[in-house]
Chain A
Amino acid sequence: MELYNCSLEELWQRLEKGEVSSLEVTRSVFKRIAEVDETVGAYLEIDEKRALVQAEAADERRRQGQEITPVTGIPLGLKDLLSTAGLKTTCGSKMLAGYRPEYDATVVSRLREAGAVITGKLNMDEFAMGSSTENSSFKPTRNPWDLKRVPGGSSGGSTAAVASATAIATLGSDTGGSIRQPASFCGVVGMKPTYGRVSRYGLVAFASSLDQIGPVTLTVADAALLLGVIAGHDERDSTSVDLPVADYYGGLKNEIKDLRIGVPAEYFGAGLDPEVEAAVRLGCRQMAATGARFEDVSLPHTDYAVATYYLLATAEASSNLARYDGVKYGFRAEDADGLIDMYRKTRAQGFGDEVKRRIMLGTYALSAGYYDAYYRKAQQVRTLITRDFDKVFAGCDVLVAPVCPTPAFAFGEKVDDPLSMYLSDILTIPVNLAGLPAISVPCGFTKAGLPIGLQIIAKPFAEETLLKVAWHYEQMAGWSGRRPQLAGEAV
């Protein structure tokens, strides 16, 4: 097998044994990028030169007997909203075209310290706003399983890269499903940790109270390994939580005795694609075979989640994106007549339609006279949604549900209908509102050969349980690790 096709776990072990070098692995991945990324389009910026230097350094580190981590010498890709010193960080937006940060995000410095190799920056919906990566200012990313279809979004580049083996693993970010939904569309594992588990310092904010960085990987074990490196308190992020980080990987094989699994009725409602439902229900039956107890549960405020999310996330975004004003960095419109005109033209030309739509929505929700009816009300509903989960989790350990009502859709299918695009996030958004950890694990394919994801949701900071349950399911179901066949490739 080509090295680029290996899982992180396997490469880690082979590197440990000295069977391969990081340089070989890295060269293999860049060979793969050269072969398929023009077709897939996962990358916005490929950083081969520096990656090879990092690979050599990782091999040297190993030779000298210095501390080795599971990601030492492993080629990893980053969603383009993670700040990387000296490496372009555009957030998929014309507004930040050419912007090179002066500092590394905390997750990036943790990866660097751990000896990881950074392959480059991955495409995304502009400022993480979207569910298809079609909102990138620069280019589309294609779903490796069907090039006519979207990879999902907003972390579409991160999931397409893992699916097409142009990175061993990647980091994405999840504000309303932006890791889990594209992971399910691309047939890979995508995890959103508990809000506060991973530092947001250097993650370019979309909605600060919802954003969370997480791993996108080929397998659950890989997710456990990568999360172990990036998780943990950071004093530069006041919302990061000072709780010990468990040995996620070491805990995967622990028994799942007496597991209580809740199945929320509201997540299997109208609009759920029958093939998706069938695959998820099959997954539930397979899990039941381990002796887990299943229970029907209800999350009664689920219907309000999308509306709540689109008030809160846009309100925060309207403020978070105010800094893109043409004054300090990034895009500035030419031929402006004075300051106000410069602001107007810069923001009119620099932002795409979806971003402008959300800035306007959020500005409205916070305006004098509307704040109570929209923003404040939405905060109250958010509390109710969180309480729904609290109640349900009193009686069960994890919840199982679909990730997205449908498999990957075709390019252009929903671009002109933002509302239907928003509604496709209905099964992932409540998790962000409640700040919970959740994961998408492959659970089958449609007849047309499109991947389907199964979502597991756990209690706050129960990443260990979440990953353990996901790993046991993955072992049983065996859907993880499959590769799409890309055009022009030898079978």
Chain B
Amino acid sequence: MDYEIVIGLEVHCQLLTETKIFCGCSTHFGNPPNQNSCPVCTGMPGALPVLNRKVVDFAVRAGLATACKITPNSVFARKNYFYPDLPKGYQISQFELPICIGGHLDIEVEGEKKRIGITRIHMEEDAGKLVHPEYEHGVSYVDYNRACVPLIEIVSEPDMRSSAEAVAYLKALREIVVYLGVCDGNMEEGSFRCDANISLRRWGAPEFGTRAELKNMNSFRNVQRAIEYEVERQRDILDGGGQVVQETRLWNVDRGVSMSMRGKEEAHDYRYFPDPDLLPVVVDEVWVEDVRQKLPELPAAKRQRLVDDYAIPVVDAEVLTADRAMADYFEAVVKLFAQPKAVANWIMVELMKLINEDKISITQCPITPQGLGDLLSLIDEGVISGKIGKQVFSQMYSSANNDPRQLIEDQGLAQMSDVGELAALVDDIVAANDGKVKEYQQGKVKLFGFFVGQVMKKTKGQANPQVVNRLLKEKIG
């Protein structure tokens, strides 16, 4: 039978604040276990949380970027459950009154645009991490460095109808939070993680089917695989006349299957209630406007503007805006060298090749926009050829020398464009190759390249090819 696939996503983003959400401890990743901890984030008796205002700022940023309404008085609530990585026996989160509600995000799949609803965004604290050392049997350790690190959870409406839409939504969302500077978007390290609620219903049925929740998918590819696996699993059940059980399932990356983690009966009753240790979070109009003013241009708008302002192809704009810093780099170079398409080509081909090989970001690239702009101008002015240009480019990259003119001078790479000098050379070569000239003039046109090559050989590749071509044409027809 044919079913409609219904998918809703819950995305957790770890926020890029310097300090934790309820204490002054560092959020720095990779410190020795429990180094970033204090009485507050280890849940010592009597310690109290105090809200980091930066977290609210980041949540409002994410809300405004996804067209949400900002709740003027949102409330922190306690989510109660027991686990050793949860030092207080409850997680401070938001429940009835989250900071953002009712937004949306536009996606595009195979040329079709679609709007996905965002139910809510709320702020919460992360839990610690359990460590089970292999060499010590029956002992586990808890590392509270991550406890109390700020998160926002972004909950979508069940608006997606395929795994492709789900992945498109996730990619668009990830791009936005990275652009906003609120999250590094790293899925493998878990700073951008996603749970999926999936159900099937017969076409036209008014009610949603019973859903299963999928966890533990740490890449876009795994989200896609896991959803597709889940859809087939539910389809088989329904086709066989069975009923889907409401449960939480864990995706097993290695085996490519999902397994039941807990059923509805084992689901926790979290006993949410407003946290009496924290006051309602008051965000007034002034604050919201302040955040709105400081919002960066978002990816979709930036893409469109690059196409409109610089007349570069949409594909180029997509590549360049995948990273906000890359787009900034592009625009900085264009300011110095006003041939956008040429700049785009150099960035996408030469520059991306090098930084991808070295696995560094554009912000770490040794060639500055000024350096690249100067280089492109030198090529354009005919001081060097494009071919030499690439050679200079790679020297600039490996030596972090951003003065291409100096590099060219030092190595005598400047192109020979002096017509008189080149004409003399051409004369010499023509005179010395009488036979080949005749063959050429009798129709062996391929020999033209031989003459060009001879000139290049004599000039160590520095002759201006356009000038050489023109002179040869004049000389031998």
Q: Which residues of A contact B78 (CB under 8 A)?
A: 319
State whether B44 touches A325 (Cβ < 8 A).
Answer: no
Q: Which residues of A contact B43 (CB under 8 A)?
A: 323, 328
A101 to B40, CA, bound (A): 12
Known A-B contacts A91-B45, A208-B277; the reply to A319 vs B90 at CB < 8 A is yes
Known A-B contacts A319-B89, A322-B82, A327-B142; the reply to A375 vs B49 at CB < 8 A is no
State whether B48 touches A236 (Cβ < 8 A).
Answer: yes
Q: Which residues of A contact B49 (CB under 8 A)?
A: 238
**Interface residue ranges of A186-205 to B (CB < 8 Å):** 200-205
A124 at interface, CB cutoff 8 A: no
- The contact of A89 among B45, B142, B273, by CB within 8 Å, is B45
Q: Who on chain A is nearest to B144 by CB?
A: A328
Q: Which residues of A contact B46 (CB under 8 A)?
A: 81-83, 89, 101, 105, 200-205
Q: Who on chain A is nearest to B78 by CB?
A: A319
**Interface residue ranges of A40-87 to B (CB < 8 Å):** 81-83
Instruction: Determine chain B's interface SS by DSSP, over half rule.
Output: loop
B113 at interface, CB cutoff 8 A: no
A368 to B271, CA, bound (A): 7
What's the nearest-Cβ distance from chain A to residue B209, in Å? 23
Q: Who on chain B is nearest to A201 by CB?
A: B48
State whether B45 touches A239 (Cβ < 8 A).
Answer: no
Q: Which residues of A contact B82 (CB under 8 A)?
A: 322, 325, 343
State whether A322 touches B44 (Cβ < 8 A).
Answer: no
Known A-B contacts A103-B39, A323-B88; the reply to A238 vs B45 at CB < 8 A is no
**Interface residue ranges of B64-111 to A (CB < 8 Å):** 78, 80, 82, 84, 87-90
Q: Who on chain B is nearest to A210 by CB?
A: B276
A208 to B89, CA, bound (A): 15
- The contact of B45 among A323, A327, A343, A363, by CB within 8 Å, is A323
- The contact of B271 among A207, A208, A319, by CB within 8 Å, is A319
Q: Who on chain A is nearest to B142 by CB?
A: A327
Q: Which residues of B contact A289 (CB under 8 A)?
A: none
A174 at interface, CB cutoff 8 A: no
A347 to B437, CA, bound (A): 101
- The contact of B47 among A202, A239, A375, by CB within 8 Å, is A202
State whether B279 touches A327 (Cβ < 8 A).
Answer: no
- The contact of A322 among B50, B51, B89, B269, by CB within 8 Å, is B89
Q: Who on chain B is nearest to A207 by CB?
A: B276
> Can you list, as one digit per residue, whether each of B269-281 has a CB less than 8 Å from chain A (1) or not (0)?
1011100111100
Q: Which residues of A contact B50 (CB under 8 A)?
A: 235-238
Q: Which residues of A contact B51 (CB under 8 A)?
A: 238
**Interface residue ranges of B276-320 to A (CB < 8 Å):** 276-279
Q: Interface size of A by Cβ–Cβ distance < 8 Å?
A: 45
A353 to B82, CA, bound (A): 21
A-B pairs with beta carbons under 8 A, tally: 102
Q: Who on chain A is nearest to B49 by CB?
A: A238
Q: Which residues of B contact A235 (CB under 8 A)?
A: 50
B42 at interface, CB cutoff 8 A: yes
Known A-B contacts A235-B50, A327-B142, A328-B43; the reply to A339 vs B80 at CB < 8 A is no
A318 to B269, CA, bound (A): 13
A329 at interface, CB cutoff 8 A: yes
Q: Which residues of B contact A81 (CB under 8 A)?
A: 46
**Interface residue ranges of B35-65 to A (CB < 8 Å):** 39, 42-51
> Can you list, as one digit per residue, whether each of A228-270 has a CB less than 8 Å from chain B (1) or not (0)?
0000000111110000000000000000000000000000000
Q: Which residues of A contact B44 (CB under 8 A)?
A: 83, 101-103, 329
- The contact of A323 among B48, B87, B269, B276, by CB within 8 Å, is B87
A329 to B47, CA, bound (A): 14
A81 to B273, CA, bound (A): 24
Q: Who on chain B is nearest to A199 by CB?
A: B48
- The contact of A200 among B39, B48, B269, B273, by CB within 8 Å, is B48
What's the nearest-Cβ distance from chain B to residue A6, in Å? 31
What's the nearest-Cβ distance from chain B to residue A350, in Å? 13
A315 at interface, CB cutoff 8 A: yes
What's the nearest-Cβ distance from chain A to residue B93, in Å? 13
State whether A327 touches B88 (Cβ < 8 A).
Answer: no
State whether B271 touches A201 (Cβ < 8 A).
Answer: no
What's the nearest-Cβ distance from chain B to residue A204, in Å? 4
A105, A201, A238, A316: which has the most chain B beta carbons within 10 Å? A238
A96 at interface, CB cutoff 8 A: yes
> Can you list, as one digit per residue, whether each of A298-324 has a CB less than 8 Å from chain B (1) or not (0)?
000000000000000001101101111
What's the nearest-Cβ distance from chain A to residue B43, in Å? 5
Q: Which residues of B contact A319 (CB under 8 A)?
A: 78, 80, 89-90, 271, 273
What's the nearest-Cβ distance from chain B to residue A100, in Å? 11
What's the nearest-Cβ distance from chain B to residue A296, in Å? 34
A393 at interface, CB cutoff 8 A: no
A324 to B82, CA, bound (A): 10
State whether A322 touches B80 (Cβ < 8 A).
Answer: yes
A99 at interface, CB cutoff 8 A: yes
> Can you list, as one digit per residue, whether each of B320-362 has a CB less than 8 Å from chain A (1) or not (0)?
0000000000000000000000000000000000000000000
What's the nearest-Cβ distance from chain A to residue B271, in Å? 4
> Can you list, as one digit per residue, whether each of A354-388 has a CB less than 8 Å from chain B (1) or not (0)?
00000000010011100100010000000000000
A209 at interface, CB cutoff 8 A: yes
State whether B271 touches A102 (Cβ < 8 A).
Answer: no
A99 to B39, CA, bound (A): 14
Q: Who on chain B is nearest to A81 by CB?
A: B46
**Interface residue ranges of A321-342 to B (CB < 8 Å):** 321-325, 327-329, 339
State whether A237 touches B48 (Cβ < 8 A).
Answer: yes
What's the nearest-Cβ distance from chain A to residue B94, in Å? 15
**Interface residue ranges of B5-51 to A (CB < 8 Å):** 39, 42-51
**Interface residue ranges of A8-30 to B (CB < 8 Å):** none
Q: Which residues of B contact A324 (CB under 8 A)?
A: 89
Q: Which residues of A contact B88 (CB under 8 A)?
A: 322-323
**Interface residue ranges of A123-168 to B (CB < 8 Å):** none
A20 to B43, CA, bound (A): 43
Q: Which residues of B contact A103 (CB under 8 A)?
A: 39, 44, 47
Q: Which residues of A contact B279 (CB under 8 A)?
A: 238-239
Q: Who on chain B is nearest to A82 by CB?
A: B46
A418 to B169, CA, bound (A): 56
A66 to B386, CA, bound (A): 79
State whether B39 touches A328 (Cβ < 8 A).
Answer: no
Known A-B contacts A208-B276, A325-B82, A367-B269; the reply to A238 vs B89 at CB < 8 A is no
A208 to B44, CA, bound (A): 15
State whether B276 touches A366 (Cβ < 8 A).
Answer: no
Q: Which residues of B contact A101 (CB under 8 A)?
A: 39, 44-46
State whether B271 touches A366 (Cβ < 8 A).
Answer: yes
What's the nearest-Cβ distance from chain A to residue B87, in Å? 6
Q: Who on chain A is nearest to B267 by CB?
A: A368
State whether A315 touches B277 (Cβ < 8 A).
Answer: no
Q: Which residues of A contact B47 (CB under 8 A)?
A: 103, 201-202
Q: Which residues of B contact A325 (CB under 8 A)?
A: 82, 84, 89
A204 to B39, CA, bound (A): 12
State whether B45 touches A83 (Cβ < 8 A).
Answer: yes
Known A-B contacts A238-B50, A319-B89; the reply to A327 vs B39 at CB < 8 A is no
State whether B42 touches A328 (Cβ < 8 A).
Answer: yes
State whether B142 touches A368 (Cβ < 8 A).
Answer: no
A239 to B76, CA, bound (A): 13
Q: Which residues of B contact A339 (CB under 8 A)?
A: 84
21 A-B pairs within 8 Å (CB atoms) are namely A83-B45, A103-B44, A103-B47, A200-B48, A201-B46, A201-B48, A202-B46, A204-B45, A204-B46, A239-B278, A315-B273, A316-B273, A316-B276, A319-B80, A322-B80, A322-B90, A327-B84, A327-B142, A343-B82, A366-B271, A368-B271
Q: List 19 additional A-B contacts (Cβ < 8 Å) besides A201-B47, A208-B277, A325-B82.
A: A101-B39, A101-B44, A103-B44, A103-B47, A203-B46, A209-B276, A235-B50, A236-B48, A237-B50, A238-B279, A239-B277, A239-B278, A239-B279, A318-B271, A319-B271, A321-B89, A323-B88, A366-B271, A366-B273
Instruction: Give 7 closest A-B pairs by Cβ, nearest first.
Output: A322-B89, A209-B276, A366-B271, A208-B276, A204-B45, A202-B46, A83-B46
